[in-house]
Amino acid sequence: MSQLFQLQCPQCRRYFGNGPLTICEECFSPLEMSYDLSSIGRLIDRATIESRPQNIWRYAELLPVAAEHRSGLPVGFTPLLAAPTLARRLGVDGLYLKNDSVCFPTLSFKDRVVAVALAQARAFGFEVVGCASTGNLANSVAAQAARLGLEAWIFVPSDLEPAKLLATAVYGAHLVRVDGTYDQVNRLCAEIAETRRWGLVNVNLRNYYAEGSKTVAYEIAEQLGWRLPDNVVVPMAGGAQITRIAKGFSELVELGLVPQSPVRIFGAQAAGCSPITTAAQQGVLEIVPQQPATICHSLAIGNPADGYRALQVIAASDGFAEDATDDEIIRGIRMLAETEGVFGETAAGVTVAAAGKLIRDGRIKRGETTVLCITGNGLKTTDALVADLPFEPALAPKLAAFEASLDRLAVPA
Ligand SMILES: *Cc1c(COP(=O)(O)O)cnc(C)c1O
Ligand SMILES: [Zn+2]
């Protein structure tokens, strides 16, 4: 390979260089990003990485961006928090939260994937960028496009949370609400990418976008002191994140940056949209698309682009997948907030609820190190909690009124 990374067909092994391509024209397989890891291994070691600023660009050699790429955006390197109180509540130990609910700049893990995709959008000469989104991607593309001076067109299902719509429009992006499901929005975007010279981050730039997720794996390993966890629990929508986290761990082993050790990869979905979890639980590698009906809009993809690969990494790692009903999602959000002071969005509720089931069933055990991926911020999905956390009536500003209401107010919602 003449460059450190390029697109390759996993089927016929043909190389395609770099560009906004997704499918092998010979055998119609989805292309994959491949790296010249032996050359990369000569460029980086632990000390080099540790000497760099704490953001995703410290792993630049392992990302599909030009060596000279310099981003002004300090994306990623979010906290890895020990979660002893949540662990005790769930009946396990060794639990950590990878807290992407505070990722810069838009408070979700999507900031990682967008940073990588937009770096290449510019390199490929796109002046207009966009995406099909379930919410968080919309926020991140809009924000980062504004920063880079790119025009942004964002397509979303019309039923998204108001906070996610507002937090897209505020950046001056063109926000197109589509009367349909995410899968219909995505199909529309695929057609748009064929007719216009637009860089749609999760459509024609998808191979670059998806690779940004590997940085979650790199950071987890580095923050654990350059070792791999025993288990990760990852919320799944299209399945890009879970597959690239697995890829990231493998690359670190191959480069000798961490000792080899098995990582079980666990997936989590909402019960109201669980095409990947359903197949994983049936032990099959075939996805049957679903019509989403869940409060967890961020994970509501009925026909996941990386679903097949997600099933493969879950099976190959001896992992599993679990789902969570709307009630379990709400309880998961509240448990995470009450035990560890982290307010995650509905996807976090899914992850916590799924982890509870994996622990209950003995798939995650005491004495193991387990990382829960908290991928988005609860302030964007407060609608899901409004009915569950009603306000008390306002009090007269009198001590007597306070004393008279004390018993009632002392009971938590
Ligand atoms: C998009 C998203 C995911 C899942 O990402 P995929 O790579 O599509 O599986 C998880 N959590 C949140 C909060 C998201 O916005
Ligand atoms: Zn091919």
- CATH number for the domain spanning 348: value is 3.40.50.1100
- CA of 205 relative to ligand 2 center, distance in Å: 18
Domain assignment present for 240: yes
The tally of domains found in the chain comes to 1
Task: Give the ligand 1 atom nearest the CA of 346.
Answer: 13
The pLDDT value recorded for residue 3 is 81
Question: 157 by DSSP, 3-state: which?
Answer: strand
- CA of 410 relative to ligand 1 center, distance in Å: 37
Domain assignment present for 352: yes
The pLDDT value recorded for residue 1 is 42
Question: 64 by DSSP, 3-state: which?
Answer: coil
Q: Please, what is the end-to-end C-alpha distance for the chain in angstroms? A: 60
Whether residue 105 has a cis bond before it, omega within 30° of 0 = yes
Residue with tokens 């075939």: 286
Domain assignment present for 118: no
Give me the domain span that covers residue 266.
80-106+229-385
Task: Give the ligand 1 atom nearest the CA of 213.
Answer: 7
The best mutation among 102, 134, 265, 299 to test binding of ligand 1, ranked by most ligand atoms within 8 Å of the C-beta, falls on: 299
Domain assignment present for 324: yes
Q: Which residue's CA is minimally distant from atom 10 of ligand 1?
A: 235
Domain assignment present for 289: yes
Pick from 80, 81, 101: nearest CA to 340: 81
Task: Answer whether 345 contacts ligand 1 (Cβ < 6 A).
Answer: yes
The pLDDT value recorded for residue 2 is 52
Indicate the angle between helix axes 110-123 and 136-148, nearest 10 degrees.
40
Specify the length of the chain in residues. 413
Domain assignment present for 247: yes
Indicate the angle between helix axes 307-316 and 275-282, nearest 10 degrees.
40
In 136-212, which residue ranges form alpha helices assigned H by DSSP?
136-148, 162-169, 182-195, 206-211
- CA of 22 relative to ligand 2 center, distance in Å: 11
Domain assignment present for 331: yes
DSSP code, position 180: S
Task: Answer whether 304 contacts ligand 1 (Cβ < 6 A).
Answer: no
Task: Answer whether 186 contacts ligand 1 (Cβ < 6 A).
Answer: no
Domain assignment present for 149: no
247 Cβ contact list (under 8 Å, min separation 6): 214, 217
The pLDDT value recorded for residue 66 is 86
Radius of gyration of the chain from its Cα atoms, rounded to whole angstroms? 21
Q: Print pLDDT tens along the chain (413 aa).
A: 458 999 999 999 999 999 999 999 999 999 999 999 999 999 999 999 999 999 999 999 999 998 777 777 899 999 999 999 999 999 999 999 999 999 999 999 999 999 999 999 989 999 999 999 999 999 999 999 999 999 999 999 999 989 999 999 999 999 999 999 999 999 999 999 999 999 999 999 999 999 999 999 999 999 999 999 999 999 999 999 999 999 999 999 999 999 999 999 999 999 999 999 999 999 999 999 999 999 999 999 999 999 999 999 999 999 999 999 999 999 999 999 999 999 999 999 999 999 999 999 999 999 999 999 999 999 999 999 999 998 888 999 999 999 999 998 888 77
Task: Give the ligand 1 atom nearest the CA of 310.
Answer: 9
